[in-house]
Each structure stands twice: as C-alpha cells, then as structure tokens.
Structure 1
Amino acid sequence: MTVDPLAALWQQAIVRYKDNTGVDLSSQSGTRFESQGSIVHYLDEQEKKFTKFRDRGCAARVCSALASIAPVLQPLCFLAGEGAGMVFAPSKVIFSAVGELVKAAVEADRELDSIVDAFDTIDHHLRILKSDAAHEILRDEALKEASVKLLAQILTILGVIQKVQREGRLVLWMKKLDNSKQVSSALDELGRLAANQHHTISAATLFTAKETMSILIECEASAKDDQAVARKYLAQITKIAQQIHDIVRRSTKTTQEQTSFNRGILENIQRVLLQQAHDMDGVKRDTTEIDKIFRWLQYPDSSVKMNTLLDDRVKSTGSWFLDGKDYTAFKRGEKRSIWLYGKAGCGKSTILHVAAAIRDLQAYAASSENTIVITHLFDTTNGSQPRNLRALLSSLLCQFAFSRHECAKMLVQLRAETSGGHAQLSLEAMQHHLDTIVQGLPARTFVVVDALDEAEDDRIISFLTHLLDHGNIHLFVSSRYEVSFCRDLEALCELHVPMNKLLVAKDIEVFLQGLLAEGGRLSKVADAERVREALSTGADGNFRWIILQVLQLAHVSGIPCEIWNCVNSLPRTLEEIYESALASIAPRSRRSVRVLLMWILFSVRPLSRDDFAKLLAFDYSERMPVYKASLLPSDTDSVITLVGSTLISASNWEVRLAHASVKDYLLALSPSSPFYIDKGLAYSLMARTGLAYISAI
C-alpha cells in the first residue's frame, strides 16, 4: 500500500511532539481542543473555578495571545486538508497542542508570562502570513504540501516549548530569543522580502515561515550565551533571505526593478548580521598581540577608503553581477577565480567589488562554517601606501592573524623569534609563512584584491598564481582591462566579467532613481525625467562622471533655470571635468594648489587635515622654503575648498585624491600647464620643505 508522503510527514511530527512532551495527540483520552473556540471555552471554565486566575486577568492575556496566532493556524489547517490521507486532522492536532500549553499556563501560574511570550514569539514568526495577499494564498489548494510542512514545524515548536517549560527552562529560553533587537529587525526585513511579489508570495511566504520556525528549534538545543544565539539566529535569517531572493528572481514574472528592490532588503539583513558579528568579536577579542603584529608587519590599512566606498555606494546597484551566474558560481565554489574588469570610472570598486561583493561575501562567511574573507585594496589615491608585493603579503598575514586565533599565535611566535619584531621579514619568509597558514586552514578562504591595475610590482601576478595552488583559496580580482598583464589575468582566472556600458547603465538608472525620488539629493528638480535622461545619456557608462554631475546639480536642484544651464552644458568626459576644475582656480591660488596636489600625489604617509593645511604655512619664493607660523591657516576646511572636492576628498581626518582617474589626469598634464608636476622635482621640493620645518621648530 502506497503511503501518502504528506500524511507520513504529519505522523512523524505527531510522534516527535509525543517524544518531547509525553502527550499523545492521536489519543482520544483527556481534554482535547479542536479550535480556538474550544480553548476559549476552557479558559472561561477556569476563570469560574479559580479566583486567583480570574483576578490576575490571566484568561484575557492568554486569549489575546491566542487571538493573534489563531487567524493564521485555522486557514493553514484548512489548506493542509482534513481528507482521508490525513488520518489525524491538522486542526484537532494543532489546537490540541496549543491547548496543552494553555493548560500549562493555568497549572503553572508563575510561568504564565513566559508562555504568553512564547505565543507572541510564534506570532512574530508567522506575521508575514497576515497580509491581505497572504490570506488569499492560504486558499490555494496547490500549496497543500507547503502548508503541511509548516504546520509540522509549528507542531514541533509547540512540543519544544512544552518540553522546556516542564524542565523549568522556559524563562531562560525566551530570554535568549527576545534579547536581540537586531534579530527582530532582521525578521521584519525578511517579512518584507517574502511578501514583496504577489506572484511568488505563495512559495516564498510559506517557505520563510517554515524556515524561521526551525530557528526556534535550533536555539532550544543551544547552550550558547545570548549573543551567540542572536548570531546564530541572524546567520540563519540571512541564509533564508538569500534563498527567498533566489526563489523570487528565478521567476519569469520578476522584473529587474523588483530584483533590485529585493537585493536592497537582503543587504539590509546582511548589514545587521555583520554589525552583530563585529560587536560580538569586539567584546571577546584581546587585540594586544594583534596590534603588535600589525605594527611589525606594517599593515597597509585601507579601511578609510573601504568605508568611503561603502558610504558612497547606492543600495541595490550591481545586482546584475551579484545575482549573475558567474558570481554565483564563484561564491558557491563551483569556480575558484573570477576577474571583474572595466574602464576607469565605471564603478568596479564603488558599486560592485568593494561596496557590494565584499559585503556579500562577508555575510556569506558570517552565516557559514569555516569561511574567511580577506581583502586588499591597491589604493592609488593614497600616495603614502605602498602598492607592491610586500604590502599585499603584509595585508593577508595581518588579516589571517585577526581572523584566526591559531594564525595569530603562529605570527606572535615568529615575531618573538625575529629580534622581538625589530627585524623585517624577507619576502621569501613572508610567502613561506603565508603558505604554512593557508595549508593549515580548514576554512574556505575568499581573497579579494581590488584595483590590481594600480599595483606597482610585476611579481604580484605570479604570487596570485601560486596562491591559487592552495585548494581552499578562492580569488576575486578587479582591474581595468587595459593593463600590461591582461593576458596573465585571463589565464589566471576561470571567470571573466566585463563591465560594459549596458550593464553599468542599469546601475546608473538605479542610482538616479534614488536621487530623484522623495528625500533624494535631486528630489527638488522640477522636470525629473528630462534630467534623468540627460544624465543617463551623458554618462556613457561612466559612474564617476555621474557622481560629479550630481554634486554640481545638487547645489541648484531647486532653481530650474540653473538646472537647465547645467544640463545643457554637460561635459563630455572626465578629463573635461578635471580641466574645468583646475581652470576655475584663481590665478593667485594656483601655486598653492600645485604644492598641495604635489604632496597628495607623492607623500609617503597619509596627510591629515592639519598637515595638509600646514603646507601653506611656508614661503616658497626662494629655492629653500621657509616655515612661518604666522602663515598657518586658521581654517583647514578653507584649504580643502581651495583645491575642490572634484580633485580631493577629506573623510574623517585624512585628505586624499578623490579618485584614481584624478591621479591619471594630473600626471598626464602638459609641461605648459600651471599645474604640471615633475616627479623628481616634486620629491626635491618635498625634501627641502621637510628640512625647513625641522629647522624651524
């Protein structure tokens, strides 16, 4: 005789409930409940019998909690079916299990609050089934299987709650579940994601409810502290969000706009997970030895640049890449190397790699076992940071030490053996110890190297080739296509992803929609469609160009005549923009600006805002500069404004070039330009300026 698989699944859930509670719901003996009404009737009877129960308003509190979940349970039971295949009717079983908890609330008066909280928690997980659209799908016979699976999960949860209540652990269990606002926020976002499209809400919503209920079961078995439970909870929510996003985007009815919207919700959930992971790691980690390793290996910190890219990135841009088959294959481990390339200014770092792919990989790692993400940025906007093989090796070693205790322990010992950290490791030694670390890792390790075209060391490609010999290394690199080692990258990477104009144009559209929408920087623009079309056309696939135009338009967004003046005279290229920026500098200020740009280009250490301003406290009229305290600017912002935000940026305490294309432009200036900078003469003047300052203080 063929057994109905859904009936078998339901029977297994009933057996599991009995194992947890000792209560046989298939038995006809004892008090059994078939509906919300029968439970309410039971509570009314208890109020009549017990004065204390009546005086505390216990029945009303339980009825209120019951009233929240019953409207979901009843249609689920109806959808699951009461037919011949289901020997034990879902409504009778589910409401009997609910009734058992209600009976426990009556009998264990001191745990009433926790039992009510347990009902509220179930309600919180099922709330995505309360929308109008969800009510419609709960009448769809095609979803019987999904409904039975969800009800089986709910029955298991009710059994777990009954079990921990009898063991006296219910209060502690609820405390673990309720302590994290981050978890609540992530669940809210998950609900938005599941309920976004009517044509897929049936599968996505029921799947979400079932999967989030499974988290409750896992948390019951966990002996970890509250933060660890929240971390596990968030990791599971992130996995579910990714699965839902994948379900929705695979639908032929899903538009690109809907996919981008969903990607934004998924990123919100990922952000919550990463913040919680960061907070948790910060509490537990003693960084004393880590700090010593970082100083010894001269860790090339690129966090300022990374954070700037993250702050500037527009949510959902790059979804064509993140949801594409190439990146998906790379993240799943089907392919081990990927190369993202495009022209200068197309947004490789801003919208895809640093701001999107790294965050996505970090969230993937935070919700997976034994997965690490290591990143390195060759930052040409920071002249103080070396862009060679030693810097890359230092970056990888330091990040491994920070990520894994065993790696830190090995490097602490190595530092002690190297003159207590006073002697520098050779490149060969650094590579050897990196190999040792990677070989000993059980982890799957993503290594992301951004802006490889900005590197100044021919040995890096051969090193990356060697690194991929380790089976647990997965390599992601980005660069311009026009590089001398283009053929080497083609051979190195299994996947090649070009950022062509049409793909970047999609991201530019997403970017402009956000700017022109209510609350956006260009929301005051009168003829938004005309501005959007002009900017999209003028960009020609260059994201940097768009950003610079938006900065200009934002200042006059509420003045139609000024908006049209700007739109009608849009520059054609980045070079035109930079040329205009330099031309707008008053002749009297050009010498000062040239000195400031020279230091930004070639300084061997980061320039703080104060240091940057102090460069104008010298008299450069003679060959040997003279420092004069009386010339020290009183306002650093004025000095930064003198150069302009088109050419430089000043985030936090550091001043740097605004973009790699700015450096390309400045170094390519003709000797006839008042801003032309000869590298050799620049170093000479910088050295003399330093000597002048030392002599003066």
Structure 2
Amino acid sequence: MSGPLAPTQASALYQTQTSKFIEAIEVPLGKLNQGLDTKIQDIRKWIGAPDPSTNFTAACNKMTEGTGFWLVNDKKFQEWKSQGGLFWLQGKAGSGKTFLCTTAINTLKGSGKPVFYFYFDSLDSSESKTKYEGLVASLLTQIGTHSKYDHTDVESLYKDNEQGHTKAPAHNMKITIQETLKKCPETQATYIFLDAMDECKNDNQPKVKNLVQDLLMLQNIHIFVTSRHSGFVSTGWNMSLDSLGGNEDILVHINKALTSNESFKGLEEEIQAELLEKADRQIRWVDCQLTSLQELGTKDAIRKALQSLPTTLEDIYDHALKSIHKYHVDEAKHLLQWILFSHQPLTIKNVIEVLAIDLKRQTVNKERNEQLGDNLHKIISSTIVVITQDEDNEKKVQLAHPSVKEFLIERESGHSDKIHVEETLAHIFIAQSCIIYLLHIVQVESVEMAHAKFPLTWYAVHYWAMHVEKVENLDEEITKLVMSLLKFQNHILNEILCWDKPDHDEKESCVASVSSDSALYYASLRGIGVGVIVRLLLAEAEADVNAQGGEYGNSLQAASYRGNERIVKLLVDAGADVNAQGGEYGNALQAAAYRKNEGIVKLLVNAGADVNAQ
C-alpha cells in the first residue's frame, strides 16, 4: 500500500495529473482513437452510452488546486484502495462530493490502475445520466471494450443483437459486465466510481443498488459511491462529510479567491472568518457568497454583506430570483423554462433565438441580442444560470448546480412568485415557441440556409412534438398552432420538418406525405412524441385513417415500422384496416415483424391482422 502524499507533492501532482488526463485520457468516449479496432468502434457506437468524461473534465476545470487530497490520504480510503469493497461518501448538497470523487479518480488513474466511472447528473437534459440504463451502458462501454479486459462477452452481445441492429436490454448489459469482470486475473483490481447517486431517478435507484451489490460479490472489485444519503450496506467504508469537523478544502478555496481578487484586499481575515464559521461544510454555499461579495464596490458594503449572509442555498437562490429586474422577469422565466425542460443542452446561440420569439404576437423578432453571452448575468444571477464551454469550445447555458434545479422545481409558488416554473406550462410554452419559430423560417430559400440562419431550427424540428406530447389536455391556442403547422403548405417547411430523416428515400417520402396533406401519415412516420398529435388529427381534422400513400403505404404500417405501440393502438381504435396492403413491407403486421416488435405484432393480431397475408 502506498503511503499518503505530502502537501507539496499533492499540489504538484494536481497540475500534472489533471492536464495529463484531460488532454490524453479523458477524450470523450464518442471521439474514438483512430487506431481502435473497427469492431470495437462499432460496438461502442451501438451501445450509445452517455459520456461521463464530460462531467469529469468539467469537475477538473472547476476544482480549486490543492483541494481533495485529504481524502486520498485518509486511512479509510487507503484501506479501501488496497482491500477492495464499498466506500460510501455521504454529504449534503454542495458539500463538494463530486470534486472529491474526481480527485480520487485522478489519483488512481495516475497510478495506472483500471478505473471506470459514471456521474449521475440531474442537469443532463437527455436524462440518460439519471437512469440505470445509462449507467450500465456506460460501464459496459468502458469495461467491455477496455484494452486490459476480455472483449469476448461484449462481442457476443453485439452478435446476439443482429450485429448491432437491435438494442440490448439493460439486464443483458449487466450480465455482460459481470461475465467480463469474472475473466479478470485474481491479481487485477477494478475500480468503479459512481458519483451523485441521489441524482439517479428514484425508481431506478433499487436497480443501481442491486448492481453494486452484485458486482461486490466478484473478486478484487473496489466501488466508490457518493450520495446525499447514507450507505445502503452496513459493511465497507463509510464517511460522512456532514460529521467531519475540518474545512480544509473550503479554506483553500476561500484563500485562492481572496488572493486573486483585488476587491477583497485588506478584508481577507474578516471574509475568511465569516465564511468558515457559516459554511457548514458546503463549498457551493461559499462559492455563491464569494460571487455575491465580489460584485460589491466598497469595503463598507462588503462588511455589511458579511453580517447578513443568507444561511442556506435556498435563501441564496430565492434572493437571486427576487433581485431580477422587473424588465427582465419575463426573459428570465422563459430562459428557466427552456433550461429546465429542454431535451438537449442549450447553446448561447439557441438562447439568443429563444429570447427573440414573441408568443403574444406569434412571431420572431428581427433584432437579436448578440451580446447576450456577456450580459446574461444582468438578466439572471450567475448563482442560478451559468455559461460553460465544452470540448468543442461551444458555449452552453445551464443551471449553475443540481441544487438550483431542485430548488426551482420543488419549491412552492409563494416562495418567489414572480419566477415560478410549472412543468406542464413550461412544455406548452416551449412547444408554442418551437412551432412559431418553424412557421417563421419559411422565408428562407433552402433548408441549409434555415439551419445556418436560424440556430434553433434543429431543436424545433426534433422536439416540438415531444413537448406537445408532455401536455395531457391541449387548450385551443396550442391546438390551433399544431394544426396550422401540420396543414401549412410550403416546400421549404416540409423539407425542414423532415430534416431528421437520414435516408434520402425516407426523406423524400416524408416530404411527400406533408406536401400531400397527409399529416396523419407524417405524424405516424415520426414515431415518437406524437400521440397527442395523432389524436388531434383524428378528432379535429377528421383525417382519413386509411389514406394510402408514402413509402409505407399507410399510417398504420408507418407507425408499426417505427415501433410506437401507442400510435398503432390509436390508429387501430380509430378504425385503421389492419390488413391493408401496400407499402414497403406489404402490410402493418409484416412491418412490425420485420422490426421484431412483439408488442405491436400481438396488438395487430388481436385486432384481426391476417398472419398468413403475403
């Protein structure tokens, strides 16, 4: 067992390790090295796992140099490192668990040990980093295709799923991980880190716990978990940040901020004393206070602020919302609705477009706030929303911390009445915004120009229907907007709506279906997020459920091929002919059978589909 690091060694190691791993090891999993075997590339692409290295890199970039080393020097950590088993690190929101986990990952990677990790992330707009399926997919990608581990089992799983043409169930991925680890030599230790387990969806957490317990039954497995909650197993090493007396990392963080900011000169001891006394081991709380204090212009103002510091993160966030200028309230609310409920991270260009959409006049303003990146903090405090930069140097707008999301969603409306976000209303707002945006861009000369000139086009095309689908009862206003989009006859708009069809023939079929007023076929062809829209077309527009046309012949065959059981049932209940002939696969049953969708096959057979039809 290696001994603890001296403080000077730790500080030196921090710089070399962090730069080394960010530049060399932590390349996003999707950007595979050119020398990797083609089959491994195909397998990784097929699994389609969320990329945890983005979280690792973000944490490395945010950490204050010299923090976290007390953990890796701790006796409990050293014992876990050598003996294996479970290490559970518990701490309240904002206590620095992610930074500590990242430091531990860095340290073990620096010693050349096989280290695999996953960051649960409630700010992930795709939600894949909040689900058990995302975890097992990520671990399978990392472990199953690692150069030091046997690839036989993951290759067999790939083969069993028609060389990657069908998705593997999460249970099968878990078994593959276990079988791969069983083949490791007894002397080879495997380290697995799971950060922020409390950010995993509640109904997924039992599966994660079972996975951890099952993996611990294998030889030489070391699992490190961080969470707000206490450990679910009594055995192993448990550490609670809430019960520790020291503030080593917070002190380092405060001193770094004090020495790098001229406005704090002469007040260092006062600021340090007040923040240390009231921090309650929450480095996030300290960071918010420092951000707030450095906005003040005089020493007297800073001293007064130190005597009335908000006591909790919730108080900080509430104050930030109440401080929004009355002329920015609508913009701030619109921005928060998008950030909280969009299906993809928002770029700064997206946000500029979002704030240009005028719902009342149902148009998009010609003027754009091009300097928004420099002025966003004037609209809403950086304790709520921040701008980050990814590995491609693209600026993204996101919530400053998971605790901000929790505060905005779970608090009662009376807390900060002028900024209250309700999920259903947010989805209605985003859906309306997307549709208005799409109807506005018909003025362009080509699809390519639409995407170049209007940066929100891609998002609006892909997700407008999914936001509509989130609303159970559509009011008259949103219903009219949806119908106007589906009935609007414009060739450019038709091509834009079908932009996400990669295959040329499929795209042509989609464009033709929209152009020929067969909106029901188009909705069925999209496959996801259009259940409400199909119901609207059947009820409001009295669409012909058996209309012929398109690559798949009719709406039922298109929906059966796409695999949307809900839409298939809607069409069948509306009187769709389950034995209608035509299209690419002859009939709906053949299309469902080709895609191996047992649920839809059963539904069609029960509805009278002829199993002997050719």
Give me the TM-score of the superposition, normalised by structure 1: 0.56
Q: How many residues align?
A: 424
Residue-by-residue CA offset, 1:267-306 (whole Å, 9 max, x unaligned): 3454476478639998784375555434322221233332
* Contact 1:616-1:631 at 8 Å conserved across structures: no
Is the Cα contact below 8 Å between 1:618 and 1:631 reproduced in 2? no
- Whole-Å separation in 2 of the counterparts to 1:582 and 1:306: 30
Q: Secondary structure at the match of 1:532?
A: helix
Counterpart in the other structure of 2:388: 651
Amino acid paired to 1:579 = D
Change (3 A) 1:610 1:407: farther
Residue 346 of structure 2 corresponds to 607
2:55 aligned to which of 305, 321, 324? 305
How far residue 499 of structure 1 moved from its aligned partner, in angstroms, is 0.2
2:182 pairs with one of 433, 439, 462: 439
Q: Which deviates further from its counterpart, 376-385 or 629-638?
A: 629-638
In structure 2, C-alpha distance between the alignment counterparts of 1:401 and 1:285, rounded to whole Å: 17
Distance 1:630 1:412 in 2: 53
* Runs of 4+ residues over 6 Å off in structure 1: 279-284
Q: Bigger shift: 284-293 or 436-445?
A: 284-293
Q: Which amino acid letter does the alignment assign opposite residue 316 of structure 1?
A: G
Conserved 8 A contact 2:88-2:225 = yes
Residue 535 (str. 1) matches residue 275 (str. 2): yes
Q: Helix, strand or coil for the counterpart of 2:122? A: coil
State the distance in 2 between where 1:345 and 1:447 align: 22
Q: What SS does the aligned partner of 1:343 have?
A: coil
CA distance in 2, matches of 1:504, 1:337: 24
C-alpha separation in 1, matches of 2:233 and 2:95:
24
1:629 deviates by 5.3
Residues 94 and 283, structure 2, Cα contact 8 Å, conserved in 1: yes
Q: Deviation at 1:424?
A: 1.3
Say which of 223, 247, 256 aligns to 1:514.
256
Letter of the 1:675 partner, please give it. Answer: I
- Go from structure 1 to structure 2 and tell me whether the alpha carbon gap of 1:608 and 1:362 turns closer, same or farther (over 3 Å shift): same
How far apart, CA to CA, are the structure 2 residues paired with 1:554 and 1:583?
Answer: 19
Change (3 A) 1:523 1:283: farther
Cα displacement (A) at 1:419: 3.7
Change (3 A) 1:307 1:649: farther
Over 3 Å counting, the alpha-carbon distance change for 1:291 and 1:493 in structure 2 is farther
Task: Please give the root-mean-square deviation of Cα atoms over the aligned residues, in Å.
Answer: 3.0
Task: Please list, as runs of the form range in 1=range in 2, the aligned pairs for 1:78-157 lying within 5 A after superposition.
Answer: none
Residue 649 of structure 1: how far off its partner (Å)? 2.1
- Name the CA distance, whole Å, in 2 between partners of 1:695 and 1:657: 29
User: Is it true that 1:491 corresponds to 2:228 in the alignment?
Assistant: no
Q: Does 1:589 align with 2:325?
A: no
- Note the C-alpha offset of 1:420: 4.1
Partner of 1:480: 228
In 2, distance between residues paired with 1:611 and 1:276? 28
- Please tell me whether the aligned partners of residues 339 and 399 of structure 2 are also in contact (alpha carbons under 8 angstroms): yes
Match status 1:688 vs 2:432:
yes
The whole-number CA distance in structure 2 between the counterparts of 1:290 and 1:590 is: 50
Query: Which residue does 1:317 correspond to in 2?
Result: 67
Opposite residue 239 of structure 2, the aligned amino acid is V
> How many percent of aligned residue pairs carry the same amino acid?
26
Relative distance call for 1:598 and 1:287 in structure 2 (3 A) is farther
The partner residue of 2:369 within 587, 608, 633 is 633
* Inter-partner Cα distance in structure 2 for 1:419 and 1:279: 31
Q: Structure 1, unaligned stretches of length 5 or more?
A: 1-238, 247-258
- Supply the distance in 2 between the matched residues of 1:276 and 1:687 (Cα, whole angstroms): 39
Q: Structure 1 residues 551, 464: CA separation in 2 closer, same or farther (over 3 Å shift)?
A: same
Q: Following TM superposition, by how much is the alpha carbon of 1:603 offset from its aligned partner in structure 2, in angstroms?
A: 1.9
- The reply to whether residue 561 of structure 1 matches residue 286 of structure 2 is no
Q: What is the match of residue 93 of structure 2?
A: 344
Residue equivalent to 1:468: 216
- The partner residue of 2:247 within 502, 505, 526 is 505
Do the aligned partners of residues 423 and 693 (structure 1) sit closer, same or farther apart at CA in structure 2, a change above 3 Å counting?
Answer: farther
Report the CA distance between 1:362 and its aligned residue.
Answer: 1.3
Shift of 1:417: 4.7
Mapped pair 1:363 → 2:110: yes
User: d(CA) in 2 for partners of 1:345 and 1:621?
Assistant: 39
The 1-side partners of 2:309 and 2:433 are apart by 40
Letter in 2 for 1:460: V
* Secondary structure class of the residue paired with 1:300: coil
SS of the equivalent of 2:88 reads: strand
> How many angstroms does 1:309 deviate by?
1.6
User: Could you tell me which amino acid in structure 2 is paired with residue 475 of structure 1?
Assistant: I
Relative to structure 1, the CA distance from residue 415 to residue 600 in structure 2 (aligned partners, 3 Å threshold; closer, same or farther) is: same
Partner in structure 2 of residue 617 of structure 1: 356
SS of residue matched to 2:411: coil
Q: 1:524 to 1:543 in 2, by over 3 A?
A: closer
Q: Which has the larger radius of gyration?
A: 1
Report the counterpart of residue 260 of structure 1 in structure 2. Answer: 7
What's the CA shift string for 1:471-491, capped at 9, x where partnerless?
13211000002xxxx4xx331
Q: Which of residues 422, 430, 436 is equivalent to 2:165?
A: 422
1:455-497 deviations in Å (ceiling 9; x for gaps): 011321112211212213211000002xxxx4xx331651110
- 2:137 maps to 394
Q: CA deviation at 1:608?
A: 1.9
Change (3 A) 1:478 1:585: same
Task: Tell me how far apart the structure 1 counterparts of residues 375 and 79 of structure 2 sit (CA, whole Å).
Answer: 48
Name the CA distance, whole Å, in 2 between partners of 1:469 and 1:504.
34
Partner SS, residue 337 of structure 1:
strand
**Residue 580 and residue 505 in structure 1: after superposition, are their counterparts in 2 closer, same or farther (change >3 A)?**
same
**Higher fraction of helix:** 1
Letter in 2 for 1:439: K
Q: Say whether 1:452 aligns with 2:197.
A: yes
1:327 and 2:80 matched: no
The answer to whether the Cα contact below 8 Å between 2:26 and 2:57 also exists between their aligned partners in 1 is no
